[in-house]
Amino acid sequence: FVLTQGPRFASGLPARFLLAFLYSAIPLAALAIVAGGHWRALFRPLRGVDALWMIGFALLNIAVTLLVGQITVRVMDTTANSAIAGVGHMAGSDRLAFFALTGIQLFGEEIMSTLPFLALMYWLCGRGGIGRKTAIAIATLIVALLFAAEHLPTYHWNVLQTLMGVGVARIVLLLPYLMTKNLLVSAGTHILNDWIFFGISNLAAATAHDP
């Protein structure tokens, strides 16, 4: 609601930053109400090796995304991500604001994926008596579906494209959290991944305008 309906009630760059912040703050506040101070368990101090995890998984996801993208364009009509396509045509200050804004929003996307994953793990393992590996597989697939559904408006409700592209990417982007149990690492991976795509779009636009 914050991301889709919020702009109807507030406009301008400060309002957009506020809405992006609320996207992370609302679920964290809800978690704090339920779990008290234990919400901090999502975040651990970053170590030097965590930067390698971020870079490695970001590059892995880029490779997977490009592979899935090649398959997708061969089997169906696809819709471009307007955010990625448009960043190359922004002015310098607008581009910096866009990168900062998306960084905050992508952090929220990790929260909105990790919390349902952990809730499903608690229910499947604790209440359902399902083994941990099976629970991880089920929870990951459900979260991937939810994450893809969240991006349907971005791709003009192209369901199959969104499931193949965004859903598969969500599975890869969940791996850093599974490896480190640190949401900061998975968020850093996600931000780095998308910023690379934005940067490529910016470079391509700049090259196209060169004489």
* pLDDT over 70, % of the chain: 91
23: confidence class by pLDDT, cuts 50, 70, 90: very high
- Per-residue pLDDT reduced to its tens digit, 70-124: 888 887 777 776 666 666 666 667 888 889 999 999 999 999 999 999 999 999 9
Mean pLDDT of all residues belonging to the chain: 88
| Rounded Cα–Cα distance for residues 196 and 190 (Å) | 10
CB neighbourhood size of 17 (10 A)? 15
- Per-residue pLDDT reduced to its tens digit, 139-177: 999 999 999 998 888 888 888 888 888 999 999 999 999
- Per-residue pLDDT reduced to its tens digit, 112-136: 999 999 999 999 998 888 999 999 9
CB–CB of 168/67 below 8 Å? no
Nearest Cα to Cα of residue 166 among 54, 60, 68: 68
